[in-house]
Amino acid sequence: MEDTATMLWTGVAVLGLIYLIKWKTDPLNSIPTVGGSSWPIFSLYSAIHFSLNSKKLLQEGYKKYYGSVFKVPLIEQWVLIVSGPKMVDELRRRPDEELSFAEGVEDSMQIRHTFGPETDEDPYHVDIIREKLTRSVPAILPDVIDELTLAVPEHIPAKSDEWLEVAIMPTMQQIIARASSRVFVGAPLCRNKEYLNLAIKFTIDIIKDKTLVKLAPSFLKPLVGKLSNHVRGTLHETIPHLKPIIDERWELMKTFGDNWSDKPNDMLQWIIDTAQTRQDNTYEAIARRILLVNFAAIHTSSNSMSSALYHLAERPDCLETLREEIEVVLREEGWTKNAMGKMWKLDSFLKESQRYNGIGLASLTRKALKDITLPDGTFVPRGSIIMAAADATHHDDSVYADSDVFDPWRFSRMREADGEGTKHQFVNTSLDYISFGHGKHACPGRFFAANELKSLMAFIILNYDLKLGGDGSRPQNLYWALNVIPAPKGTILFRKREVSV
């Protein structure tokens, strides 16, 4: 019995020694840690501590290791963080064979395990967003605006003689889902509440499933991905809504070929057209792409809109300035893309809100596909996840004066300088403005999203007064790990304007 116990404890000691040696020789140990200790016994505590204090700790790391690299502990892995324009540019220009954007996104979202490998191996929906959706913005924006004129009063049924309290996050999700779906699947499906709820639910399901998969060891990820089937369940519930529309369009394509009168100019048709050139041309394949496009549109745009509305309700002095600009432009241009482009103050307000709040605390996600050495001498081992400190960059006083102050006209003033008219508009990225990423992998849907957000913001400003309840303080963002979440339970008071456009 004693011999057995001795052998058992000896085995435990040997395994512990092997693990300690492996940890000690890990190249990541040479990279400074922010947010806790990298010792194995303390790593879980460090990850929880960082997740709860991530905004503050990332700012500390940014200042301490500016122009270099530090690492932060997430519950499932270490993430390397770079700071400063030279290092951001390094992420931007490194080829995908070294630092891969696609593999970085896959590591973050785990689509390969939760949703199947098809969209990961052939992400043609991304090309459709980058090319077809962006080029079509002038043609499809009237449909978005038409849908907003119906959806906003339905979800914000305020009257002119009393204030209505509205829960902002869920309301913006519903409105954004409906306006986006007008362009993605067309009417009347874009008004089907069951379908819209599935589109919104998918954004939550994908986060649930990927969180479970990321916690699993590599060899168990495929199994955990199949067992955590929220996204697959939502996919199968969505297919019956899309099937009759797909059948109708397949029949028209069979009869008339590639073109016919009134052929829909929407995301569903673009995906159907592309899918017929692929082997995976099925209801499930098409629905899978639609859901992923929905996720990208609803998640980021509803968060961005919620943040901007909190600022607007906190700063009612901005309402009249924005109304004046919007009314003048609309009289000249009508509700068009050209009109949205001329609303410099509205553009500035949205961009400043995104600078101040952010979509996430870090951006430009990349995964190292081979060992590389960065210009500062930092060795990055294969398999590492590396990102840029977006929030800390946007709150750097040397980059943006009084960076912790929300200045609604910051970017419209910048655009007034000679040669700066387009450089500082909402959709533009730079080494100092990286909410949308930067370079060839910058968010491909930002051009559509910016015009949708401007249209929604303009409609609300013209048709409603709004203010915060209580003491008038803006509801605070929530921060967890690298995520930024506008106050999920925050509310705004709305009152219908008697004079509206």
The neighbouring-strand residues paired with 387 are 81
Report the alpha-carbon distance of residue 501 to residue 499 in Å, rounded: 7
Supply 470's token pair. 């209580």
- Provide φ and ψ at 464, rounded to 5°: -140, 150
The pLDDT assigned to 36 comes to 72
CATH number for the domain that contains residue 73: 1.10.630.10
The pLDDT assigned to 116 comes to 84
Q: What is the mean pLDDT of residues 332-361?
A: 97
Q: Is residue 299 part of a domain?
A: yes
Instruction: Work out the angle between the directed axes of helices 344-357 and 283-314 (0-180°, nearest 10).
Output: 100
Q: What is the mean pLDDT of residues 145-168?
A: 97
Q: Is residue 311 part of a domain?
A: yes
The pLDDT assigned to 37 comes to 66
3-state secondary structure of 364: strand
The pLDDT assigned to 338 comes to 96
For residue 144, pLDDT over 50 is answered with yes
Q: Is residue 372 part of a domain?
A: yes
CB distance 267 to 290 below 8 Å: yes
Report the alpha-carbon distance of residue 291 to residue 276 in Å, rounded: 18
Q: Is residue 20 part of a domain?
A: no
For residue 456, pLDDT over 50 is answered with yes
pLDDT tens profile 157-175:
999 999 999 999 999 999 9
* Residue found by looking up tokens 């925050």 in the block: 490
The pLDDT assigned to 39 comes to 64
What is the enclosing helix (H) or strand (E) of 166? strand 164-167
Q: What is the mean pLDDT of residues 323-336?
A: 97
The pLDDT assigned to 20 comes to 46
3-state secondary structure of 409: coil
Q: Is residue 9 part of a domain?
A: no
Q: Is residue 19 part of a domain?
A: no
Instruction: Compare 500 and 97 and report the one with higher pLDDT.
Output: 97
The neighbouring-strand residues paired with 78 are 73
User: By residue range, what is the domain housing residue 290?
Assistant: 39-496
For residue 12, pLDDT over 60 is answered with no
3-state secondary structure of 492: strand
For 452-486, give one letter per residue: b (16+ CB within 10 A) or e.
Answer: bbbbbbbbbbbbbbbebeeeeebbebebebbbbeb
DSSP one-letter string for 372-384 = EE-TTS-EE-TT-
The pLDDT assigned to 2 comes to 59
For residue 24, pLDDT over 80 is answered with no
The pLDDT assigned to 35 comes to 81
On the 0-12 / 13-18 / 19+ scale of CB atoms within 10 A, 402 is exposed
**Which residues have CB under 8 Å from 44's CB, separation 6+?**
75
The pLDDT assigned to 4 comes to 62
The pLDDT assigned to 76 comes to 86
Report the alpha-carbon distance of residue 421 to residue 440 in Å, rounded: 22
Q: What is the mean pLDDT of residues 378-391?
A: 96
For residue 499, pLDDT over 90 is answered with no
Q: What is the mean pLDDT of residues 103-115?
A: 90
CB atoms within 10 A of CB 91: 24
The pLDDT assigned to 7 comes to 58
CB distance 391 to 362 below 8 Å: yes
Share of the chain above pLDDT 90, in %: 76
For 371: left if phi > 0, alpha if psi spans -120 to 50, otherwise beta; the answer is beta
**pTM score over 0.75:** yes
pLDDT tens profile 190-202:
999 999 999 999 9
The pLDDT assigned to 216 comes to 87
For residue 401, pLDDT over 90 is answered with yes
Share of the chain above pLDDT 70, in %: 93
Supply 81's token pair. 């963080």
For residue 386, pLDDT over 60 is answered with yes
Report the alpha-carbon distance of residue 8 to residue 437 in Å, rounded: 52
Q: Is 443 annotated as a binding residue?
A: yes
Q: Is residue 24 part of a domain?
A: no
Look up residue 492 and give its amino acid: I
User: Which of 227-235's residues contact partners 24+ apart within 8 Å by CB, and which partners?
Assistant: 228/114, 230/205, 230/206, 231/114, 231/115, 231/202, 231/205, 231/206, 231/291, 232/114, 232/115, 233/205, 234/198, 234/201, 234/202, 234/205, 234/291, 235/115, 235/202, 235/284, 235/287, 235/288, 235/291
pLDDT tens profile 274-302:
999 888 889 999 999 999 999 989 989 99
Supply 308's token pair. 């901007």
For residue 5, pLDDT over 70 is answered with no
pLDDT tier, 413 (very low <50, low <70, confident <90, very high otherwise): very high
Query: CA neighbours within 13 Å on the CB side: how many for 153?
Result: 13
Closest CA to 160 of 469, 463, 458: 463
Q: What is the mean pLDDT of the chain?
A: 91
When divided into structural domains, the chain yields a total of 1
pLDDT tier, 17 (very low <50, low <70, confident <90, very high otherwise): very low
For residue 14, pLDDT over 50 is answered with no
Q: DSSP state, 439?
A: G
Strands in 374-488 per DSSP E: 379-380, 385-388, 464-467, 478-480, 483-485
Q: Is residue 12 part of a domain?
A: no
The neighbouring-strand residues paired with 493 are 165, 467
Instruction: Compare 351 and 222 and report the one with higher pLDDT.
Output: 351
For residue 11, pLDDT over 80 is answered with no
The pLDDT assigned to 415 comes to 94
For 104-132, give one letter per residue: b (16+ CB within 10 A) or e.
Answer: bbbbbbbbbbbbbebbbebbebbebbbeb
